Amino acid sequence: MTRFARLGLLLLMTGAVASCQTLSKEECQIADWEVIGRNDGAAGYNPQDRFAGHVKACSRIGVAPDQTLWQRGFDQGLRNYCTPMNGLAAGRAGKSYANVCPGNSSEGFLRGYNLGKSAYAKEDEIRRIESSIRSLEYEISRLEKDARKESDRLRLEQIYNDIRSNERRIGDYRRDIDRLRFELDGIEEDINLFSANAGR
């Protein structure tokens, strides 16, 4: 490996490590731990993992995070995070849930989260099927070009068989999408009802 290649690899590794840090050196030096905790709570982070990340990030410059202030802020942030509508938004975005909401708020949050996650799962499946359809359509286009240049009868027959097979698969996929969209419409109705009642 050349000297320049080693240097490039070192810079790449340094960047990867830095990207895993929860705080920069500058942020550690001027940290308001209650504000940081509030932001972490409002984002729904796992508290043990997140605070441990801050400890690791700031240990590089000899700064010890104030856990008492951070926890006070985190608990305040959780009150903003653990709402039914925020659960719905987190689920719809496909975000994971770190089981952080206290008992009195977890029920509403989870109702919203599970509804949103159901919608996300249907939408994600539709996106994946649509991607498969595009791949098959591209393959059909390629086969049709091959057919126009092919003179061997047996090979031509095989190409047309492949085209018909791909067309049948596209038809099956489109029926799957219709079914998923019907199911998604039902979930959307539940979401609208949930949203209408969430503030009551």
Q: Is the dihedral angle over the CA atoms 108, 112, 117, 118 positive or is it negative? A: positive
Written as six digits, the tokens of 13 are 């590794």
Question: pTM for the complete prediction?
Answer: 0.78
Torsion of CA 120, 182, 83, 27, to 10 degrees: 20
In tens digits, the chain (200 residues) has pLDDT values of 444 444 343 433 334 333 468 899 999 999 999 999 999 999 999 999 999 999 999 999 999 999 999 999 999 999 999 999 999 999 999 999 999 999 888 999 999 999 999 999 999 999 999 999 999 999 999 999 999 998 889 999 999 999 999 999 999 999 999 999 999 999 999 999 999 988 65
Closest CA to 194 of 113, 121, 123: 113
Task: Give residue limits of the domains in the chain.
Answer: 25-81, 117-200
Written as six digits, the tokens of 98 are 């770190």
